[in-house]
Structure 1
């Protein structure tokens, strides 16, 4: 008599660093390596992949440290892969210096990762990989929300950003491809989508189409089963008042406006090559704020070469008066290959750090004010699971907000007769703000 035994699946540990665009590429790699079982146990992982970020100094440092820490923990016969932006940007230097890494690959071979692992070889394809509806993905972190990448690369020439140097020019997916992917995901039960790219408001401009996002909105609205959507990373010079109005008129797209401003001073905007003057920018931002039930998120860079105390004071005044719902502040860091890198009017590091701390405190105040403004409102939420805070509290997200970055709402009461289900949209009433966390009561299914 013959006995057959199932061989244990090989184990895969993947770390995706940086932005949600990276996460989409990581999900493509997970699909290509679907014969592996995902594990958090690094000691027993057969393959370890780090999808790196190479945007700013802190991200580079995190990527390198992650690779080295994983190497320290891994078993001897495992395969360590360094992929993504940092690997692409510094491919020659890293391959010489990081002898701990077995396979190097950049931003062009995510869909070939299975072959690279099998053959244990490095590869840097000249073209940047852009997923289509034909590329399967293993959606992570949610059973109802997915990120959809609109394009790769960027045509902007911002003084502080090196991304176009290793990601290339704007390269948009076809509208047909995006629609097919969303339909495929809806069929699998997903109903909430975040559309992302380096410069989302330039979508399809490389195809000679100036209203690509407006066309996208129209097509996504026609798909049965899409209940909610939002667009991340609008760019000032390619966002129009008409686009804002198009989003506001949509029954599917949230009035969620995510535009990294980086600054508001006319002087610094010009140095940064941001493509829109201060007054026009303020007009655009006010139009967003005047949209009913709007949520406005942004990022700022402080300490850019040429930034005077007056420029910084103007930025602080604007942040206080506008009242952003969410914002992030970055301390300027030199990036090789950018125009800012070669400027001689650098701001001393201690002043950069001081300005980042001051602006960060102002942003904390505007965030708390935004949260306080939610108390008493009835909103659509999705319950994601038990909270990390307490076993009797559930963690939910206002459907208006983007996942992970905008915070969570604690559900501490329930007027339903039945049990609360995860991944379902409910109406909830915000009862109070405790510290920086909102508490809410579930009322009924939306």
Structure 2
């Protein structure tokens, strides 16, 4: 899911801000770290990596922290690493072009609803397509922090999923992966008035 979030972020920045991807940190105008907080080690590694990126970045380049650790730690990230330009939570991906222009912005609302947002398209692979069918999770597993970083579970309307699948297949995708914390729950809750479809029917139509 983090990989798909990254693709969404890249797509929005490319289409709305004209950004292109690069592997060279020293020439980048914007450095983004999309984080995970399921385990403790990646959280500790975040601040170590931030220090390295801060030393290597060119003058004026922005650094943004995104993802689950961003949702979890929020303003603490900027307190510990004041050079960070903004913090964007896992449930606020669609706001990337907004926070980009707000210094020290912290957008981490886990109740923000992106289920009806139509992201621009970007794929790291021409043959594999990742498609979100839901966001968030309603479970309360003692070992998992996801509900506290991605909010309650909401299904994405089937018309958006089908439209995205058709586009990716038309562009050459051979495999489609459906993403959700618990895909079997698909259809239990939509944020608006949408056709009530369960996971089995979603698979049939896809």
TM-score with structure 1 length normalisation?
0.42
The 8 Å contact of residues 128 and 167 in structure 1, kept in 2 or not, is answered as: no
Specify the structure having the higher radius of gyration (Cα): 1
Counterpart in the other structure of 2:204: 218
Q: 1:37 aligns with which of 8, 20, 28?
A: 20
The 8 Å contact of residues 201 and 213 in structure 1, kept in 2 or not, is answered as: yes
Counterpart in the other structure of 1:81: 64
Q: 1:194 aligns with which of 169, 177, 183?
A: 177
The 8 Å contact of residues 32 and 112 in structure 1, kept in 2 or not, is answered as: no
What SS class does the counterpart of residue 80 from structure 1 fall into? Answer: strand
Instruction: Determine the C-alpha separation between the residues in 1 that align with 2:9 and 2:115.
Output: 11
Q: 1:49 to 1:172 in 2, by over 3 A?
A: same
Query: Structure 1, residues 76-101: CA drift from partner, whole Å, max 9, x if none?
Result: 21111111110111113222212131
Q: State the Cα distance separating 1:212 from its structure 2 match.
A: 1.9
What SS class does the counterpart of residue 65 from structure 2 fall into? Answer: strand
Instruction: Determine the C-alpha separation between the residues in 2 that align with 1:59 and 1:129.
Output: 26
Q: 1:119 to 1:160 in 2, by over 3 A?
A: closer
Counterpart in the other structure of 1:137: 121
Structure 1, unaligned stretches of length 5 or more?
Answer: 1-20, 221-446
What SS class does the counterpart of residue 139 from structure 2 fall into? Answer: coil
Tell which has more relative contact order, 1 or 2 (C-alpha 8 A, sep 6+).
2
Higher strand share: 1
Question: 4+ runs of 1 displaced by more than 4 Å?
Answer: none
What SS class does the counterpart of residue 38 from structure 1 fall into? Answer: coil
What SS class does the counterpart of residue 123 from structure 1 fall into? Answer: strand
Instruction: Determine the C-alpha separation between the residues in 2 that align with 1:24 and 1:131.
Output: 14
Instruction: Determine the C-alpha separation between the residues in 1 that align with 2:115 and 2:155.
Output: 10
The 8 Å contact of residues 110 and 129 in structure 1, kept in 2 or not, is answered as: no
Q: State the Cα distance separating 1:132 from its structure 2 match.
A: 4.9
Query: Structure 1, residues 42-97: CA drift from partner, whole Å, max 9, x if none?
Result: 01111111111111102212333332222221112111111111011111322221
What SS class does the counterpart of residue 143 from structure 1 fall into? Answer: coil
TM-score with structure 2 length normalisation?
0.86
Q: State the Cα distance separating 1:158 from its structure 2 match.
A: 0.8
Q: State the Cα distance separating 1:182 from its structure 2 match.
A: 0.4
Instruction: Determine the C-alpha separation between the residues in 2 that align with 1:163 and 1:60.
Output: 14
Query: Structure 1, residues 342-392: CA drift from partner, whole Å, max 9, x if none?
Result: xxxxxxxxxxxxxxxxxxxxxxxxxxxxxxxxxxxxxxxxxxxxxxxxxxx
Q: 1:185 aligns with which of 163, 168, 176?
A: 168
Q: 1:25 to 1:131 in 2, by over 3 A?
A: farther
Instruction: Determine the C-alpha separation between the residues in 1 that align with 2:8 and 2:55.
Output: 27
The 8 Å contact of residues 47 and 80 in structure 1, kept in 2 or not, is answered as: yes
Counterpart in the other structure of 1:364: none
The 8 Å contact of residues 150 and 195 in structure 1, kept in 2 or not, is answered as: yes
Instruction: Determine the C-alpha separation between the residues in 2 that align with 1:60 and 1:152.
Output: 22
CA RMSD of aligned residues (A): 2.2
Q: State the Cα distance separating 1:105 from its structure 2 match.
A: 1.8
* Paired positions, count: 198
Q: Does 1:162 align with 2:145?
A: yes
Counterpart in the other structure of 1:206: 189
Query: Structure 1, residues 118-168: CA drift from partner, whole Å, max 9, x if none?
Result: 34451315234536572112111x111111111111111111112112322
Q: Does 1:124 align with 2:107?
A: yes
Counterpart in the other structure of 1:400: none
What SS class does the counterpart of residue 214 from structure 1 fall into? Answer: helix
Counterpart in the other structure of 2:48: 65
